[in-house]
Structure 1
Amino acid sequence: MKKFTFFFISTILSIQFVAAQSVKSYSTAQAHSHNDYERARPFEEAYEQQFGSVEADVFLVDDSLFVAHNLKDIRPGRTFTTLYLLPILQKTEKNNGSIYPQDNVPLQLLIDLKTEGEATLAALIKVLEPHKKILAPAGSIRIVVSGNVPDASSFEKYPNFIYFDGRPENVYTPAQMGHIGLISQAFQHYSKWNGEGPMLEKDKKKIQKMINDMHDLGKKVRIWATPDNINSWKTMMTLGVDYLNTDKVPQLGDYLRTAPR
């Protein structure tokens, strides 16, 4: 009986150890600053937290790329170059070509095209082209284009420093998949959970399946419009989401650095 009890306890402890080992370790490198341009200090606030991903919505107006949530919010001086490109160039120059002082910590810059896709993307490429040496695949900053993206059949005509934000329900050819830098979907596509209490198991299973499927394809996953609290962050971490979506940049940063797991 003692041998059986010892074997049973040992088995349980082994299972717990394996389960613990399989849980992904999170840092601020897995945090995404949603609508980052709405922060009091765009880019800088997320950068100081060493977030791994920031998001900027861009509008093409009179050959200039403005950063705003809506057309009516556009203001002189709030351009993509001023709020994002110039600070990024300053950081990479300071850090010998890397975005962060640690040369193994990358940054994903998710650029949501709000005006007509091809023209806006052409203007973005024109701005970025002179700096492609700091952009993935050569550098530490990955540009991922979302919003009004061109049809996947045209992905191959764009420079290799332009990646696209895919959808899990879309079917891509292997060549097209090579241009996908991220897979995203709205949380409401899977659940109506408000972040309080536990999420329904059936909803968790839907999300888990999608994440597993995308990971099998070698792609990272972001789910936008998730509830934005500690309970939700913990749930998303348990499910293995690659980027935790938040509007609460300092709070998520503090949590990821200090909270017990």
Structure 2
Amino acid sequence: MKKIAIYFISTVLSVQSIAQSVKSYSTAQAHSHNDYERARPFDDAYEQQFGSIEADIFLVNDTLFVAHNLKDIKPQRTFTTLYLLPILQKAEQNGGHIYPQDNVPLQLLVDLKTEGEPTLAALMRVLEPHRKLFAPTGSVKVVVSGDVPDASQFERYPDFIYFDGRPENVYTPAQMAHIGLISQAFQKYSKWNGEGPLLEKDRKKIQKMINDVHDLGKKVRIWATPDNINAWKTMMALGVDYINTDKVRELGDYLRTAPR
């Protein structure tokens, strides 16, 4: 009986220790994956005060369109219309800050779907007149993903453009200064479907990657993760910095109401 009591106490303490080590999450750590596919692009995630929003862009005839595939492009769905103008409007309403709270930033993850160099050049042209709104001085951090330039070219770009890195790549300190986020596909580590517990061997692989990235002082996003409460809780326990979701309202509700 005494051994059982000791085991029970040690187990409770262990569980409490793990719970205390998990940081508190809010919608500031939520990422709206392929946000433009929602009925209300930008607005849904903004109203939930998400910390990160993703838009895929295509350069066609000098205009940046937002879509998942080239065939999905529609004339009215431009990057400027769906994202830049709403961001500028919110910043004007909030005294130059993206959110009413001046210490709450927004990460805008822009995925280059057409040839990287000209698409990035077009993106910089539309952002340049408003560069004070963008990090490092402003509250919106633009992180470029997709067909990004080679890391040796990062220093050619202005300081309001950051890049999405990969955990398997090695960057110099100068290149690392231009990395705004480090991302990887969930399938690189696991085939877990979000039901039941994550396999221990998979958990260890993911945890090592996250720890290594955090040691570099960078934040982690894992894309294509299972998208349910069990998966969200698992990602939070692992310390992922941005919880990837297509269920903006559901994740927002969960993060506001779940016990810390």
TM, length-normalised to structure 1: 0.94
Query: What letter matches 1:23 in structure 2?
Result: V
Equivalent in the alignment of 1:249: 248
Distance 1:191 1:7, change over 3 A: closer
Q: How far, CA to CA, are the matches of 2:166 and 2:236 in structure 1? A: 20
Q: How far, CA to CA, are the matches of 1:190 and 1:13 in structure 2? A: 30
Query: What letter matches 2:252 in structure 1?
Result: G
Q: How far, CA to CA, are the matches of 1:14 and 1:207 in structure 2? A: 25
Mapping for residues 149-160 of structure 1, pairs under 5 Å: 149-160=148-159
Equivalent in the alignment of 1:217: 216
RMSD of Structure 2 on Structure 1 (CA): 1.9
Query: What letter matches 1:47 in structure 2?
Result: Y
Structure 1 segments of 4+ aligned residues over 4 angstroms from their partners: 6-18
Equivalent in the alignment of 1:27: 26
Instruction: Kindly provide the CA deviation profile for residues 43-80 of structure 1, in whole angstroms up to 9, marking residues without a partner as x.
Output: 00000000000000000000000000000000011000
Equivalent in the alignment of 1:235: 234
Q: How far, CA to CA, are the matches of 2:15 and 2:120 in structure 1? A: 48
Equivalent in the alignment of 1:81: 80
Equivalent in the alignment of 1:55: 54
Mapping for residues 59-70 of structure 1, pairs under 5 Å: 59-70=58-69
Q: How far, CA to CA, are the matches of 1:13 and 1:249 in structure 2? A: 34
Instruction: Tell me how many residue pairs correspond in the alignment.
Output: 258
SS at match of 1:126: helix
- Report the alpha carbon displacement of residue 20 of structure 1 after superposing the two structures with TM: 3.2
- Report the alpha carbon displacement of residue 22 of structure 1 after superposing the two structures with TM: 1.8
Instruction: Kindly provide the CA deviation profile for residues 119-148 of structure 1, in whole angstroms up to 9, marking residues without a partner as x.
Output: 000000000001110100000000000000
SS at match of 1:60: strand
Query: What letter matches 1:135 in structure 2?
Result: F
- Report the alpha carbon displacement of residue 259 of structure 1 after superposing the two structures with TM: 1.8
1:148 to 2:147 alignment: yes
Q: How far, CA to CA, are the matches of 2:65 and 2:8 in structure 1? A: 61
SS at match of 1:54: strand
- Report the alpha carbon displacement of residue 154 of structure 1 after superposing the two structures with TM: 0.3
SS at match of 1:181: strand
Q: How far, CA to CA, are the matches of 1:7 and 1:230 in structure 2? A: 33
Mapping for residues 73-222 of structure 1, pairs under 5 Å: 73-222=72-221
Query: What letter matches 2:159 in structure 1?
Result: N
Q: How far, CA to CA, are the matches of 2:168 and 2:110 in structure 1? A: 21
Q: How far, CA to CA, are the matches of 1:145 and 1:100 in structure 2? A: 21
TM, length-normalised to structure 2: 0.95
- Report the alpha carbon displacement of residue 29 of structure 1 after superposing the two structures with TM: 0.3
Q: Which runs of 5+ in 1 are unaligned?
A: 1-5
Instruction: Kindly provide the CA deviation profile for residues 87-124 of structure 1, in whole angstroms up to 9, marking residues without a partner as x.
Output: 00000000001100011110000000000000000000
Counting aligned pairs with the same residue, the percent is 80
Query: What letter matches 1:118 in structure 2?
Result: E
Equivalent in the alignment of 1:3: none
Q: Which runs of 5+ in 2 are unaligned?
A: none
Distance 1:188 1:15, change over 3 A: closer
- Report the alpha carbon displacement of residue 14 of structure 1 after superposing the two structures with TM: 6.3
Q: How far, CA to CA, are the matches of 2:15 and 2:75 in structure 1? A: 56
Which segment drifts farther, 9-18 or 116-125?
Answer: 9-18
